[in-house]
Structures are given as structure tokens and as C-alpha cells.
Amino acid sequence: MTESATLKRPLPLEGIRVVEFTHMVMGPTCGMVLGDLGAEVIKVEPLGGDSTRKLLGAGAGFYPLFNRNKKSLALDLHSEKGREVVQKLIATADIVSENFKPSTMQKLGLDYATLVQRHPRLIYVSHKGFLPGPYEHRTALDEVVQMMGGLAYMTGRPGDPLRAGSSVNDIMGGMFGAIGAMAALMQRQQTGKGQEVETALFENNVFLVAQHMLQFAITGRAADPMPQKISPWGIYDVFSVKDKEQIFLAVVSDTQWAIFCQAFGFADLQVDPRLTSNNLRVLARHWLIPLLRERLASTPASELAALFEANGLPFAPITDPQHLFNDPHLNATGGLAPMTLPDGRETRVPLLPLKLDGERLGLRLDPPKLDEHGTELLLSLGYSGDEVAALRRDGILLPVQPGSVS
């Protein structure tokens, strides 16, 4: 919240209203991106709240991360009065975003075909497992499409497919939803009409592995899983060094090879005719990498890092995610913003990895408590205080608003 106060100009999507019916990661990511860019994003939740609020383990961070810069309205969409409220809300919106089954949205009268008849300028973003086609009836998860889309094969060892260590398809699929929404906004300026934007986990995953598909198309050789791949560079490896620490080191050009040999005093390797080009070093990896592992094994990781950094060579410590809260670069460059969790605890959260006109896009709103903005929103739609109270008594809205700002 303090971050956005420093911005010297309006945010790009200021004045754009988004109504989202989303849960888990993919749909909420789309709304998060649009919200970070300045849109007013209203998260419509069931009376019990988005189930993501209650996840444990690896899902515990989903809700607070992907629902910042949003407002919350909780209501019963299965009631006629609840649908009436949401229809009034949609009438004020530029974008509707959802990631439920088509049948769910159709039963509620919230599918694109129904809404576009009343609101021809509406942009409707639909996040699904598969784009329309033979697979569209299947239930998809990030792990499902990673397995069937080649990413798990590329990440794991041969015979041991392994999902990537993040919800890469959900997050990236939501980003493509936001990109599509912004493209549709620009086209609406020209045509005056909205449109449906569709994005899907499977097609997103295929895009991620497209480089490996094209490798096969060009070379005729199937891509090996990453742990078994033929490296395009002579040195591009994780090394175990003193005190069992690990560090990633890379030497990816002939110029870097000369610098590396001189920095470490490896004159014998620099003049070895078997190592005079990158491609020769790739062919020599079977004996070169074990030799380098032996020579570097007694050197502290910090000393290797200092030498690589001083000489402009690529390197990286092996970092656990929780240690990124203390990363000096992130903290010095404003990459982490203070955030209050719905339960009142304070933390920091990574921002979008971009700057606009030299400025990071910060938090305007913490991830909302359930129905935190319900009364405020209904009053803005023309409901009176008595009408809102009646809707609460009738169970259309939450009987009590936790942490209401209105």
C-alpha cells in the first residue's frame, strides 16, 4: 500500500473494472496482474469464501499472493437475488474473468454467450484446462498437463517424470489471460466491441516445451530430459565444494574460458588443444567436468562466487525460496513489498518483475478478508443501507462482514 503512494502518474489500467469468478491459481493470477497494473478487481466469492483461503502445505501461499490488489464481495450466486446483484455489478465492468467449468457459468447465466447479449462491450476472459477440442471435457491440473505435455518428461530423469517446482502453467496461463484482456481492451477502442479471450493450461504447457519440439524438427533428434541433456556449453554445472556447499558455475564462450583459466591459474587447460573452442569443450565434458570438480572441491563457495563476480562470469548460489526474503538485491531494489495477510500478520511479497517508467508496481490493497468490500460495492450499485441489511438477513450476503471498510 505504501508502494503505490510513491507512483508519480496514474497506473496504466486505472479506470478499468474487472469482476472475477476465480479460484486456485490460474484465474486469480490474471486478476492479480490486471490489479497490479491499476485495474479495480472485484473478487466475487461464495459465502464460504474461496476454498484457496483454507489450503495447507504447498497451497498455503496461493490466496495471499494471487489475490492482492483486489476487493472481495461474498454472495450466494445460487439465489435469484444474488444473481441480480452480480448482474448489476457486471453492468459496470469492462472485464469478466472466470475459471470454472462451462456448465457452471451457463447455469448461473454468467457465460459469455449470455452476457454479451446485454453487454456487447464486455471482455470475457475464460481460463480452462484445454482450449475447445477433443480434450476440453477433461479435468486438468498443472501436474496433469505437465505430464501429458512433455514438461515433466523434460524436468525429471529418464523414467522418472517430475513436475516443475512451481505452478508454472497456472501462473503463466493467467498471465496470458491478462495479456489477452489488454489486447482486447485495445481492440475495443477501435471497434467499440468486446470479445471472449480463452487461455488454457495444456496449450500453455505446449508453448513452454516448444523449444524442445523445434529442436527435434531442426535436428531430427529427440530432446533429452534436462538432467541428461547434451549441454550446449562446456561448463554449465552445479559443483559441490568445500563444506558440502553447492554453487552453479558457467563458462559459455571462448572469451569466458580464457578469463576463467586466467582467474584460477589453469594455464594447462587454456593451452590444451582439446579445449580451444566451446564445442571442443562440450565434447570433452566427460573428462573436463570431473577434473574441474576435483580442482574446485576444496574452495569455499563464497570464494568461487567472488572470483566469478569479479571477472564477470555467470554463477549462482543454490538458494531455498524462504531465503529470498533476505536477498540483498530484492531488498535494495524494492522487489518485495510489505503486505498484511487476512489474519493480520505482516509479511512481504514479490512484486511483478517489471518497471514502468523506472517505477515498480506496488500494493494498493492487501489480499482482502472475505466480503471486506461487500457493503461498499453494493452501495455504489445503488442499493440502500436497508436493502443491504435485508440481503444479509436473508443469507444472500454474509450476515456479518469481517473487517468491512465501508
Looking at residue 1, what is its pLDDT?
Answer: 43
SS3 string, the chain, reads CCCHHHCCCCCCCCCCEEEEECCCCHHHHHHHHHHHCCCEEEEEECCCCCHHHHCCHHHCCHHHHHCCCEEEEEECCCCHHHHHHHHHHHCCCCEEEECCCHHHHHHCCCCHHHHHHHCCCCEEEEEECCCCCCCCCCCCCHHHHHHHCCHHHHHCECCECCCCCCCHHHHHHHHHHHHHHHHHHHHHHHHCCCCEEEEEHHHHHHHHCHHHHHHHHHHCCCCCCHHHCCCCCCEEEEEECHHHCEEEEEECCHHHHHHHHHHHCCHHHHCCHHHCCHHHHHHCHHHHHHHHHHHHCCCCHHHHHHHHHHCCCCEEECCCHHHHHHCHHHHHCCCEEEEECCCCCEEEEECCCCEECCEECCCCCCCCCCCCCHHHHHHHCCCCHHHHHHHHHCCCECCCCCCCCC
Looking at residue 4, what is its pLDDT?
Answer: 41
Looking at residue 333, what is its pLDDT?
Answer: 94
Q: Are 30 and 181 in contact (CB under 8 A)?
A: yes
> In degrees to the nearest 10, what's the CA dihedral of 7, 13, 16, 17?
-70
Domains and CATH numbers, the chain: 4-209+327-393 (3.40.50.10540), 231-321 (3.30.1540.10)
Q: In a structure prediction context, what are the per-residue pLDDT tens digits for the chain, which is 406 residues long? A: 444 444 567 899 999 999 999 999 999 999 999 999 999 999 999 999 999 999 999 899 999 999 999 999 999 999 999 999 999 999 999 999 999 988 999 999 999 999 999 999 999 999 999 999 999 999 999 999 999 999 999 999 999 999 999 999 999 999 999 999 999 999 999 999 999 999 999 999 999 999 999 999 999 999 999 887 778 899 999 999 999 999 999 999 999 999 999 999 999 999 999 999 999 999 999 999 999 999 999 999 999 999 999 999 999 999 999 999 999 999 999 999 999 999 999 999 999 999 999 999 999 999 999 999 999 999 999 999 999 999 999 999 998 644 544 4
pLDDT tens-place string over residues 291-317: 999 999 999 999 999 999 999 999 999
Q: Are 138 and 101 in contact (CB under 8 A)?
A: no
Looking at residue 6, what is its pLDDT?
Answer: 45
Looking at residue 227, what is its pLDDT?
Answer: 84
Looking at residue 406, what is its pLDDT?
Answer: 46
Looking at residue 5, what is its pLDDT?
Answer: 43
pLDDT tens-place string over residues 335-370: 999 999 999 999 999 999 999 999 999 999 999 999
Looking at residue 344, what is its pLDDT?
Answer: 93
Closest listed residue to residue 40, CA positions, set 99, 92, 2 = 92
Looking at residue 8, what is its pLDDT?
Answer: 63
